[in-house]
């Protein structure tokens, strides 16, 4: 016998982001057919987790560390043991409430526990709202290697309340919007212009400006994710700023945040790309990043060509002394160019 079976899995993922959406949680879960819920939340966000539990009409809470150290198999085992003692079963939805570390961790757990249970992402940082909680990628780190174990699994529901952001320190608040500037720079010229108009209000932490910028991020990222098969190129374009940015992040070893490294990476990559990036584009980017309060000059201590070059070459796609990177050929369109040691040195000058 030689038979062939094709499986096509269709899934709907709902994204609800706005002000005061916490009050809608119960209804949105009911709409998605989800009854029992366990809230896996950042242990630093107890008051918020209690509000969310109350909005659900009561739910068990499992506090976990709300930073990168959470993304470890030891924590997976510990939370599984807690789920068992709570009497959770395969109909129980796991709701991850926290930044990207909590949504990545909970999404991973939901995709493997009992071979998969429903997952609800409730992102509480701008970075998680604009990036990490979107697209279904999740995972944990192994021996310091980020996201080495992971799955791709879309949440049944992504619900975020802009009011949750008020407790974020400025640096964390800005971080997600750097990634929105990045997305618009390579994907959408009109949204870039719209974002430019919003920047002063965003910097002043105006809630409606935040909602508008997050909405743009969701639209841009989800369009690429949904069309993944046909849009490989565009998905790759989202790496803009991350080739030099990741090298810088490793070199800085915690002294610079991811968003700061991406801001600095985008500007350095534009300089390294030379004539592939029109001067007006680089200028608009720099103005936008300055307006949101992101750094625009690489600190002297980290402008070290040899070390950054060695780190950039660890990139999976590096070959023959060249590292492919994406820059905007114009606002709203990415192009792949090669980073070399010489062009990196020029960018750091």
Ligand X SMILES: NC(=O)c1ccc[n+]([C@@H]2O[C@H](COP(=O)([O-])OP(=O)(O)OC[C@H]3O[C@@H](n4cnc5c(N)ncnc54)[C@H](O)[C@@H]3O)[C@@H](O)[C@H]2O)c1
Taking the least distance from each CB to ligand X, the nearer of 88 and 294 is 294
- Residue in the block written with tokens 């701008």: 126
In the set 52, 55, 88, 104, which binds ligand X (CB under 6 A)? 104
Alpha-carbon span 199 to 193, nearest angstrom: 10
Q: How far is the CB of 348 from ligand X (least distance, A)?
A: 25
Could you tell me which of 141, 148, 150 has the C-alpha nearest to residue 72? 141
Q: How far is the CB of 52 from ligand X (least distance, A)?
A: 12
Alpha-carbon span 208 to 64, nearest angstrom: 30
Catalytic residue among 26, 75, 235, 236: 235
**What residues from 117 to 136 belong to the interface with ligand X (CB under 6 A)?**
124-125, 127-128, 131-132, 135
Q: Under rule CB under 6 A, how many of the chain's residues touch ligand X?
A: 28
Cβ contacts of residue 294 below 8 Å, gap of 6+?
174, 178, 259, 260, 263
Structure tokens at 207: 């809630």
Q: How far is the CB of 156 from ligand X (least distance, A)?
A: 16
Say whether 221 is catalytic.
yes
Taking the least distance from each CB to ligand X, the nearer of 128 and 248 is 128
Catalytic residue among 182, 242, 260, 269: 242
Contact between 112 and ligand X (CB under 6 A)? no
- Distances from the Cα of 154 to the Cαs of 9, 170, 229, in angstroms? 11, 30, 16
Say whether 115 is catalytic.
yes
Rg of the chain on CA atoms, in Å: 21
Contact between 137 and ligand X (CB under 6 A)? yes
Catalytic residue among 231, 286, 330, 336: 231
Contacting range for ligand X; rule: CB under 6 A; set: 13-21, 99-107, 231-239, 318-326 = 99-107
* Segment (H or E) for 202: helix 189-203
Q: How far is the CB of 87 from ligand X (least distance, A)?
A: 28
Angle of helix 242-252 relative to helix 305-312, nearest 10 degrees, comes to: 120
Say whether 271 is catalytic.
no
Strands (DSSP E) found in the chain? 14-18, 37-42, 60-64, 93-98, 119-123, 140-142, 145-149, 157-161, 323-330, 333-339
Say whether 179 is catalytic.
yes
CA angle centred on 183, ends 182 and 185, rounded to 5°: 65
Contacting range for ligand X; rule: CB under 6 A; set: 22-30, 37-45, 271-279, 323-331 = 37-45
- Distances from the Cα of 125 to the Cαs of 99, 132, 146, 277, in angstroms? 5, 9, 19, 31
**What residues from 153 to 212 belong to the interface with ligand X (CB under 6 A)?**
164-165, 167-168, 172
In the set 99, 245, 265, 328, which binds ligand X (CB under 6 A)? 99
Catalytic residue among 26, 75, 137, 290: 137
Q: Which residues bind ligand X (CB under 6 A)?
A: 42, 44-45, 66-68, 71, 98-102, 104, 124-125, 127-128, 131-132, 135, 137-138, 146, 164-165, 167-168, 172
Provide the annotated active-site residues: 115, 137, 179, 221, 231, 235, 239, 242, 246, 258
């Amino acid at each position: 016998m030689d038979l062939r079976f094709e499986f096509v899995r269709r899934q709907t993922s709902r994204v609800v982001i706005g002000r005061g959406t916490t009050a809608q949680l119960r209804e949105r879960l009911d709409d998605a057919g989800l009854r029992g819920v366990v809230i896996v939340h950042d242990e630093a966000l107890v008051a918020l987790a209690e509000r969310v539990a109350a909005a659900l009409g009561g739910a068990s809470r499992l506090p976990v560390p709300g930073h990168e150290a959470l993304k470890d198999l030891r924590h997976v085992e510990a939370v599984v043991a807690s789920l068992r003692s709570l009497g959770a079963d395969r109909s129980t939805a796991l709701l991850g409430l926290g930044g990207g570390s909590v949504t990545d961790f909970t999404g991973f757990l939901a995709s493997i526990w009992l071979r998969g249970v429903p997952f609800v992402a409730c992102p509480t940082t701008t970075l998680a709202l604009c990036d990490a909680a979107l697209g279904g990628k999740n995972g944990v780190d192994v021996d310091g290697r980020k996201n080495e174990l992971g799955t791709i699994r879309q949440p049944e529901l992504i619900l975020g309340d802009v009011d949750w952001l008020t407790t974020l320190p400025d640096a964390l608040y800005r971080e997600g919007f750097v990634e929105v500037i990045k997305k618009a720079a390579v994907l959408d010229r009109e949204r870039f212009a719209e974002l430019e108009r919003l920047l002063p209000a965003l910097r002043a932490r105006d809630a409606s400006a935040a909602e508008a910028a997050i909405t743009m991020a969701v639209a841009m990222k989800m369009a690429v994710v949904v069309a993944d098969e046909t849009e490989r190129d565009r998905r790759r374009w989202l790496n803009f700023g991350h080739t030099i940015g990741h090298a810088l992040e490793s070199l800085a070893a915690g002294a610079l945040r991811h968003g700061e490294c991406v801001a600095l990476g985008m500007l350095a990559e534009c300089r390294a790309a030379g004539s592939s990036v029109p001067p007006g584009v680089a200028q608009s980017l720099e103005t936008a990043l300055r307006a949101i309060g992101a750094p625009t000059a690489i600190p002297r201590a980290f402008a070290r060509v040899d070390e950054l070059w060695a780190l950039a070459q660890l990139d999976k796609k590096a070959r023959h002394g060249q590292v492919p990177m994406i820059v905007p050929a114009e606002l709203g369109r990415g192009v792949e160019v090669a980073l070399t040691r010489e062009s990196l040195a020029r960018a750091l000058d």
